[in-house]
Amino acid sequence: MPADLTLKTTVSVGGMTCAACVRRVENALREVPGVTEVAVNLATARATVSHNTGWAGVEALRQVVADQGYEFLGIPDDAREDPIGAAREKELKDLKARFTVGIVLSGVIFLGSMQHWFPFLVGIPRQPLLMVLFFLTTPVVFWVGSRFFIGAIKAARQRTTDMNTLVAVGALAAWLYSSLATFFPRFFAGAEIMPHVYYDGAAFIVTLIILGRLLEARAKGKTSQAIQRLMGLKAKTARVVREGAETDIPIEEVAKDDLVVVRPGEKIPTDGVVVAGNSSVDESMLTGESMPVAKQPGTEVFAATINRTGSFTFRATRIGAETALAQIIRLVEEAQGSKAPIQRLADKVASIFVPVVFGIGLLTFAVWYFLVPDPVFSRALLNFISVLVIACPCALGLATPTAVMVGTGLGAENGILLKGGESLENAYRLQTVVFDKTGTLTRGEPEVTDILPVSGVTPAEVLQAALDIEAVSEHPLARAVLERGKREDLLAEAVTGFEAVSGLGAKAVRDGKAMLLGNRRFLEGEGIAGGDLEDEAARLAGEGKTSVFVAEGGRVLGLLGFSDQPKPSAAAAVAELKGMGLKVAMITGDNAGTAKAMGKTLGIDRILAEVLPGDKAAEIRRLREAGEVVAMVGDGINDAPALTAADIGIAIGAGTDVAIEASDITLMKDDLLAVPRAIRLSFETMRTIRQNLFWAFIYNIIGIPIAAGVLYPLWGILLNPEFAAAAMAMSSVSVVSNSLRLRRRWRRIL
């Protein structure tokens, strides 16, 4: 294995709360020897680490995560309980308990702080009441809000700050000031400072932010529902044939080549090939297609799909992490853990956000204490606290990943696999969609429709020559020739020296004579003229058919015409893309006449014809160099370079694994209407990300000046810390909630 081979390892990290946490973990992981790139996702609590084969290993990741004060939860494993899911459930229970205690005590503290509002409290001496408030507030601040202080201490040890620092300093300042006013009132009197207390503010700061965390955790759980549903699809047991008897075993014990029996209504436990029986299978959980798929001996079945009608036996071919479902889960998890390029702006802001907020807070205190007429220490302190508390970088950290999680999850539920944030953003910018013709726009099942011999040659002789050449070829046209030969009861004769020439044709030797089968360019390259058949070839091209010449011994024997019908959804997909304002093109190796005829049928005006398979990528690069943002849609091995060369590669799932691996978006069902749907989903997801970032930025741009008191000279408006805490908590919740709205918008699109 080459030393410079880039690999990826994904680990779960607990304890991250804001964009500053994300940046700290990313920077620490980048310092691990051998690590080349790191992407940390706040919403999924996962870090994806790109590294070479000689890197320091997982233990090094564990150490640096722990050194930063966060919890290393290991490598996600489908075979066991999801550590993030378990950690999230534990966190929800803890947050519920802390919020319950906090809101009850905060309510009592509020009553005591507003003594003059409630007649039944008026008779209580003030000093004993303040001491009661102190003893009620202290557990709220230091137990209910303990996570903020622990987080702040961890950050301080790393000589940095984060959102926990802001909350901890704000709550501590309010509590400390109130405690001094309670136990040392003479100090305040001597300094000519009114000894106000703000126990209610300190209690409500931590309680309301805990409420925000609780709502945020619940909402983030909903953003990962797609993954949870996919993982929940897996069968728990399998019925295998062992020693001639059927035995139920845990799914983990199924081995390759095991014979597995499936009865009506049961989930298929793993991937395999049917060896006996017939049935229909619901594959909607993988493809989004509601119609059951017929299964008979020789056809593939997939894990987690549901057997509907008959019983059958299949041979297990892929198990565990090799199954299609496991690969889909892996792709979705990687997509949800990725970052859109637009997130870099938020990350950059987050890196300097907290220090800037502290600076603004100190400036606010100084202005209110030293420059405002009739300065009041308590008001300067409260404004300082309000600035710290209202400034929340959480929303910045959640803006992109929550939207990406919802968007990629929706795609997975509808047979659209998006590889990540970068794919989403590129799709959002698309201008041109280029379709491969054969197997993508068409069924990929060509038929021989015309056999046109030259004078003195029979149609059977032309077909026999073509059959002999194509007998060992794997080209789609070869299969059509073999099928026509079978119908005509012809048998292929032995040839020697077979050679396939990519994009042009094939050659062989029969009875000492050189035989050729291919397009006009191929014959011209061999010094053979099409003669009178040139006009016939042009006529066939006008009908949208592919023409192939057959030659023997340096002369043309005849012409074969092939027809490949468009897929039922092709024209509608093209029309929908055009309706979205996108340009649509078709790329093919067919001659210009055939390609134009097919383009006319489908409504495609832009035709890239007579393009050899190896030149498709160059054509895509040429479009990009002209300033176009290009998507390539294909299905075959020869499409893989073009898929990679495009800004967005879209692979039809019915195609090859190579094409799927090379693509940015994979369509699990062979329905071209999924192409505009995938692009619309990208549009909607990016729209959501932009909305989230706008609200995250605008919240701070508006909130921080209000907390600092800029509205006081005009309208006498000041923001108490508890209201700042409520606004801060709601900012994160609003961002996550807006991401969840994407589900409703998507349903309307469908």
3-state helix, strand, coil in the chain (%, to 5): 55, 20, 25
Which two structure tokens, joined as six digits, stand for 366? 């100084």
Closest CA to 731 of 392, 343, 351, 402: 392
Helix (H) or strand (E) holding 555: strand 555-563
Catalytic residues: 436
Q: Using CA atoms, how far apart are residues 593 and 591, in angstroms rounded to an integer?
A: 6
Helix (H, G, I), strand (E, B) or coil at 472: coil
Are the CB atoms for 318 and 271 separated by under 8 Å? yes
Q: 49 in the Ramachandran plot: left (φ > 0), alpha (ψ -120 to 50) or beta?
A: beta
Distances (CA, A) of 210 to 149, 160, 162, 203, 723: 13, 23, 16, 11, 14
Strand 555-563 relative to strand 583-587: parallel, antiparallel, unpaired? unpaired
Which amino acid is residue 397, in one-letter code?
G
Helix 394-413 vs helix 324-336: crossing angle, to nearest 10: 160
DSSP state for residue 637 in the 8-state scheme: G
Q: Using CA atoms, how far apart are residues 45 and 718, in angstroms rounded to an integer?
A: 37
Which amino acid is residue 471, in one-letter code?
A
Strand 665-667 relative to strand 648-652: parallel, antiparallel, unpaired? parallel
* Extended beta strands in 42-89, E state: 46-51, 71-74
Handedness of CA 734, 740, 742, 745 (dihedral sign): negative
Handedness of CA 599, 602, 603, 604 (dihedral sign): negative
Q: Using CA atoms, how far apart are residues 690 and 679, in angstroms rounded to an integer?
A: 16
Helix 163-183 vs helix 146-157: crossing angle, to nearest 10: 120
DSSP state for residue 636 in the 8-state scheme: S
Please report where in the chains the tokens 């906090």 appear, as a residue: 102
Q: Using CA atoms, how far apart are residues 402 and 412, in angstroms rounded to an integer?
A: 15
> Nearest-5° angle of CA 557, CA 526, CA 594?
65
Beta bridge partners of 249: 238
Q: How far apart are the first and last CA of the chain?
A: 46
Which amino acid is residue 704, in one-letter code?
I
Distances (CA, A) of 583 to 7, 248, 610, 623: 37, 54, 20, 12
Which two structure tokens, joined as six digits, stand for 618? 């160059």
Handedness of CA 375, 376, 377, 383 (dihedral sign): negative
Are the CB atoms for 124 and 115 separated by under 8 Å? yes
- Cβ-based neighbours of 530, under 8 Å, separated by 6 or more: 520, 523, 537, 549, 556, 559
Q: Using CA atoms, how far apart are residues 430 and 686, in angstroms rounded to an integer?
A: 12
Closest CA to 168 of 44, 18, 296, 311: 18
